[in-house]
Chain A
Amino acid sequence: MEHVGSTTSVRSLIRRLAASSSAGATRTAAPGEPTTARVVRLAGPYVLSTASVGLALFGSLFLQREGFRALDFPLFLFAIASTVWYPGVGPTIVALVLSSLAFDYYFVEPRHSFAVAPSDIPYFVTFLLFALMLSRFSVVRRRSEQQLLDSREQLQTEVAEGKAREEQIRKLNEQLARRSADLQAINTELEAFAYSISHDLSAPLRHMVGFTALLQKSASSALDDKSRRYVATILDAANKMGQLIEDLLAFSRIGSAETRATTVSLQQLVKEVVEEMGPETASRKVSWTIGDLPVLHGDRSMLRLVLVNLVANAIKFTRTREQAEIELGSFEDERGVVVFVRDNGVGFDMKYCHKLFRVFQRLHRREEFEGTGIGLATVQRIIQRHGGTVWAEGTVNGGATLFFSVPRALKR
């Protein structure tokens, strides 16, 4: 609240009192406000307005006695106007009434009496109206000042809230950046790990395979059947290990490989894949039923790998059938766009269906069907990267159906 500055102690006293009462002429006590402070706050303005009228009165009388031009009227107006600073119309009315009385008594003929001549009435009425207008202005001014203070407070709160939110966002961003950096570091570590496996393990493996093969060649005449079988087993196991390492590496690369998303027609891909499998199925009777397959937005080489794995499995596990029947199709449901590959092969027991997609998990003995058991794990990993899921249904000796779904948003 900007007051006109004054160096007199009286003025500063008034300012301090006014400031304490400018919080509004609220009758209710502020929280934690002691009674004396409350009394001061409520009664203060009235005391001040009476005091300013008194000051105006004595001032006028003094100046009149000293022979100055009559200053009574302006001084009383001054006193009334000064009450404009205090909240509430009360002090203004008090000042107005006291001023009128004092003015009438001391300065209007007949002096020292409260009588008012009819010709003086318009004078007093104007005086009154002017004072009332002043007090009205005061109310309006105070109200708008309060509004300003309120909106400023509100603005400050909003700014503070905004700042707090910004700070929170900044913290979250920092966290995110840190996590990204961590993930990046882990990724790099994993890649280095995979590289190490591929390089460091392959050398001893190669030696195992190589020298066992040399042994086989150079010592087979000196070995009996049992020993020859042992040597062959060692060689076979070493070869198998090499295959496992390669499969595992390829699988681990899927997780970190860069995907390039383009428009991929599954119909087209399936045709290519089936053609590729031609040699495998040449000597067998395979009937293909290929329905409408969707066009998806995804990584072509990865999706191709999915189809290769699923179709290869279908072909492999129908090998015992006189006539292999393999069907591919698609439909949509709440999971999204679903594609399936169904075969009439050896199938599987549904109670193992949760194991189907695990790495190196197989449900058949090696003598029955070859493979390291990484095909379906690969399919799952790829489909997961596309935001979808995989599942299977089957019965023992009654064929199997492999499903994968992708979000509808990927359909083109």
Chain B
Amino acid sequence: MDKLQRILMVEDDPRDAELSLTALDQYNLANEVFVVGDGEEALDYLYQRGKFTTRANGNPAFILLDLKLPKIDGLEVLQLIRADDALKFIPVVVLTSSHEERDMVASYKLGVNAYVVKPVDFHEFVDAVKALGMFWAIINEPPPGSVRRP
């Protein structure tokens, strides 16, 4: 059985993913992150279907969700997660370059836990991702059914 990672990162840009992982690494969280590149993969992972049928049971402690994704985009993924009883309590943090109000409003309407705009300044970016990792993966008690902290 494949190990269930505590953090699911849904990010289509590999460079952004790398930068985020570097930041999370400062709290030794990098090796607890599973990265998927689009909305379809994210849902497959969560439902343990497609290529993830061998994943261990349970939910990630939290999800870092980009909005602009190929195939199924971030807001739709969020909507589906919130509509499913088994998944709806997973904390979702939207991490996106868009600071357009309509995206923010839509995300909050769908029940996102946090909305973070990726800063252009690298240090700020690192600080933001670190803070998110620290809070949601370490300080916060994840909902029942989530993988426990080692």
Contacts and interface: CB of A to CB of B under 8 A. Distances in A.
Given A199-B68, A203-B13, A214-B22, A209 B97 contact: no
Nearest to B98: A199
Given A211-B15, A214-B22, A203 B122 contact: no
A198 B119 CA distance: 12
A205 B99 CA distance: 16
Contacts of B19: 206-207, 210-211, 214
Contacts of A246: 120
Contacts of B121: 209, 239, 242
B97 A199 contact: yes
Given A199-B68, A199-B97, A206-B19, A213 B13 contact: no
Interface string B98-112: 111000000000000
Interface string A2-30: 00000000000000000000000000000
A242 B120 contact: yes
Q: Chain B interface residue count: which class?
A: 10 to 19
Contacts of B119: 206
B16 interface: yes
B130 interface: no
Interface in B17-41: 19, 22
A203 B120 CA distance: 8
A209 to B, nearest CB: 4
A51 B99 CA distance: 101
Nearest to A242: B120
A207 B118 CA distance: 11
Given A199-B98, A211-B15, A206 B123 contact: no
Interface string A211-227: 11110000000000000
Contacts of A239: 120-121
A214 B123 CA distance: 10
A212 B125 CA distance: 13
A195 interface: yes
Contacts of A203: 13, 16, 97
Given A199-B68, A203-B13, A209 B98 contact: no
Given A195-B100, A198-B99, A199-B98, A209 B122 contact: yes
Chain B interface helix/strand/loop/mixed: loop
A210 B97 contact: no
A199 B120 CA distance: 11
Contact of A205 (B13, B68, B100, B120): B120
A390 B97 CA distance: 36
Contact of B97 (A202, A212, A213, A214): A202
Nearest to B97: A202
A211 B15 CA distance: 9
> Could you say which of B16, B19, B68 has the most chain A C-beta atoms within 10 Å of its C-beta?
B19
A219 to B, nearest CB: 14
B80 to A, nearest CB: 23
Given A199-B68, A206-B97, A213 B123 contact: yes
B98 A206 contact: no
A206 B68 contact: no
Given A199-B68, A211-B15, A214-B22, A206 B122 contact: yes
Given A199-B68, A202-B120, A239-B121, A207 B97 contact: no
Nearest to B68: A199
B144 to A, nearest CB: 36
Interface string B66-102: 0010000000000000000000000000000111100
Contacts of B97: 198-199, 202-203, 206
Contacts of B120: 202, 205-206, 209, 239, 242, 246
B96 to A, nearest CB: 9
Contact of B16 (A198, A206, A212): A206
Contacts of A205: 120
30 contacts: A198-B97, A198-B98, A199-B97, A199-B100, A202-B97, A202-B118, A202-B120, A205-B120, A206-B16, A206-B19, A206-B97, A206-B119, A206-B120, A206-B122, A207-B16, A209-B120, A209-B121, A209-B122, A210-B15, A210-B122, A210-B125, A211-B15, A211-B19, A212-B122, A213-B123, A214-B122, A239-B120, A242-B120, A242-B121, A246-B120
Interface of B: 13, 15-16, 19, 22, 68, 97-100, 118-123, 125
Given A198-B99, A207-B16, A210-B122, 11 more contacts: A198-B97, A202-B120, A203-B13, A203-B16, A203-B97, A205-B120, A209-B122, A210-B15, A212-B122, A214-B122, A239-B120
Interface of A: 195, 198-199, 202-203, 205-207, 209-214, 239, 242, 246
